[in-house]
Amino acid sequence: MQIIENSKVKEKLYIEKLENGLTIMIIPKKGVQKKYVIWGTNYGSNDSKFVVPGETQETEVPKGVAHFLEHKMFEQESGVNSLDTLTALGVDANAYTTNDHTAYLFECTENFEPALDELMDYVQHPYFTDENVEKEKGIIGQEIMMYDDYPEWRVYLNALEAMYHEHPVKLDITGTIETISHIDKEILYKCYNTFYNPSNMVMVVCGDFEPEKLLQEIKNRLIVQKANGEIKRIYPEEPEDIVQEKIEQKMDVSQPIFVIGIKDKLADTKERVKKHIAIEILLNMILGKSSKLYKELYDEGLLFSTPSLDYEYARGYAHILITGQSPDPEKVYERFKQTVANMKIDSTEFNRIRKRIYGEYIKEYNDVEDISRMFLSDFFKEMNSFDFLEEITVINEEYVEQVLKDVFNDKKMVISVIKKD
């Protein structure tokens, strides 16, 4: 078992890749009562076109299969729902699907072993029938319609549609009522057998554990399976330019909401952590709570609270999203563009923001959930979470200045607005 130690947070990561290809990551937290397990597969809503290992033909499945599969995994042949079993054990269990991965998890203070039994049982034993697949279409169809009525979700998806011509990141993770109507049990089994192979999965566990002992417990619960070959994922060619700069929709909102998006491209593996940090620093300098622009917009009544500042990226895409509420989103957008165009990196501010972000990174190691989710998500992005703590101490103004020039390009910016109906 490999051990990676980080002196800044005094944490150790125990990592083991098993013969079947499954990666297990254990972060022991002595004396902490909470235990957290997250088991993820490198399979998200973007993966609808691929070549199955051992085959030569491309497989294309309807949009929304990854999310549909996540919903169906809890249903067992016995008629019992594993989520109910876990809840009865007093553990907090859940699952989620993103653009690039699907994860199953639970958090507990007691009953860890029976909960691990249940988690590892249902994730390894799918049960799909014509009847239960049909029934799920109705449930997910209602979820799709519900999300369609959420202005916060629509403004986000509209921003992605304004940025992306072809890449499936612009599509709803759930699919549409039309696309999910084509899902059947054969499609679900094919995607399960392709993407839920141990070689495409990682399990992260955080809590008061003895790593060697826990590793054995996990191994004991694994069914015998061989590692798959590499899955060839197929994404369309995505042009660098945006589709349209502005997109607007009317819905029932008390105040207009907006997303300012900046289309970027995924950095090389060795550059990802550094670039992520640089963008986080820049976003805070431009429109963070202590920024000059935010104070001006707040005083003028153009912003009521700090916008959320996000940098999202995975296979084949990367973008910045700034989400907020304003009586005049277009004015906020113009002022944002002006600030970016005239921006010079101030050393004092750069160091202050860098220190604050470093403090936030350190704080994430206080919580077993934050740690587990972070290591899982970063692993699928081919990064080690500890690297953020190292890179942020050595990142310099010149590099950040270069990222400002390369990424914050007004030709790659969009604004999505939802206005009052």
Q: Give 128-180 pLDDT, tens digit per residue.
A: 999 999 999 999 999 999 988 999 999 999 999 999 999 999 999 999 999 99
> Which pLDDT does position 221 carry in this prediction?
96
Both structure tokens of 50: 């691929």
Interstrand relation of 308-314 and 317-325 (parallel, antiparallel or unpaired): antiparallel
User: What are the angstrom distances between the C-alpha of 194 and each of 25, 98, 183, 187, 334?
Assistant: 22, 18, 16, 11, 47
What is the side-by-side order of every strand in the sheet holding 92-97? 2-6, 11-17, 23-28, 201-207, 35-41, 102-108, 92-97
Interstrand relation of 308-314 and 413-420 (parallel, antiparallel or unpaired): unpaired
Write out pLDDT tens, residues 190-219. 999 999 999 999 999 999 999 999 999 999
> Which pLDDT does position 368 carry in this prediction?
97
CA 173/CA 220 separation, integer angstroms: 34
Write out pLDDT tens, residues 240-279. 999 999 999 999 999 999 999 999 999 999 999 999 999 9
Q: How many CB atoms lie within 10 A of CB 80?
A: 13
Interstrand relation of 11-17 and 23-28 (parallel, antiparallel or unpaired): antiparallel
pTM of the model: 0.94
Both structure tokens of 163: 């940025």
Strand, coil or helix: what is 109? coil
Per-residue pLDDT at 44 exceeds 90: yes
Average pLDDT, stretch 337-361? Answer: 96
Both structure tokens of 367: 């919580």
Both structure tokens of 119: 């988690």
CA 177/CA 137 separation, integer angstroms: 8
> Which pLDDT does position 296 carry in this prediction?
97
Give the Cα-Cα-Cα angle 360, 365, 366 (nearest 5 degrees). Answer: 95
> Which pLDDT does position 353 carry in this prediction?
97
Least Cα distance to 47 among 257, 307, 232, 242 occurs for 232
Average pLDDT, stretch 372-376? Answer: 98
Q: How many CB atoms lie within 10 A of CB 239?
A: 12
Which 8-state DSSP code applies to residue 170?
G
- Give the pLDDT band (50/70/90) at residue 289: very high
Sign of CA dihedral 249, 252, 255, 259: negative
> Which pLDDT does position 401 carry in this prediction?
97
Least Cα distance to 200 among 413, 367, 20 occurs for 20
> Which pLDDT does position 155 carry in this prediction?
97
Q: How many CB atoms lie within 10 A of CB 87?
A: 13
Give the CB-side neighbour count of residue 145, counting CA atoms within 13 A. Answer: 8
- Give the pLDDT band (50/70/90) at residue 98: very high
CA 356/CA 372 separation, integer angstroms: 22
> Which pLDDT does position 375 carry in this prediction?
98
> Which pLDDT does position 261 carry in this prediction?
98
Indicate the burial class of 130 (C-beta count within 10 angstroms; 0-12, 13-18, 19 or more): exposed
Q: How many CB atoms lie within 10 A of CB 184?
A: 14
Average pLDDT, stretch 350-374? Answer: 96
Spell 187-216 as b/e; 16+ CB within 10 A means b: bbeebbebbbbbbbbbbbbbbebebeebbe
The residues, any chain, with a CB within 8 Å of residue 307's CB and separated by 6 or more, are 287, 322, 323, 324
Average pLDDT, stretch 10-15? Answer: 97
E runs forming strands in 8-126:
11-17, 23-28, 35-41, 49-51, 59-60, 92-97, 102-108
CA 256/CA 299 separation, integer angstroms: 18
Q: At what angle do helices 329-341 and 292-299 cross, to 10 degrees?
A: 150
Indicate the burial class of 25 (C-beta count within 10 angstroms; 0-12, 13-18, 19 or more): buried
Average pLDDT for the chain: 96
Q: Which residue has the tokens 């010079």?
A: 344
> Which pLDDT does position 421 carry in this prediction?
87
Per-residue pLDDT at 370 exceeds 90: yes
Average pLDDT, stretch 222-228? Answer: 93
Domains and CATH numbers, the chain: 2-233 (3.30.830.10), 246-420 (3.30.830.10)
Average pLDDT, stretch 82-90? Answer: 96
Q: Which residues are catalytic?
A: 70
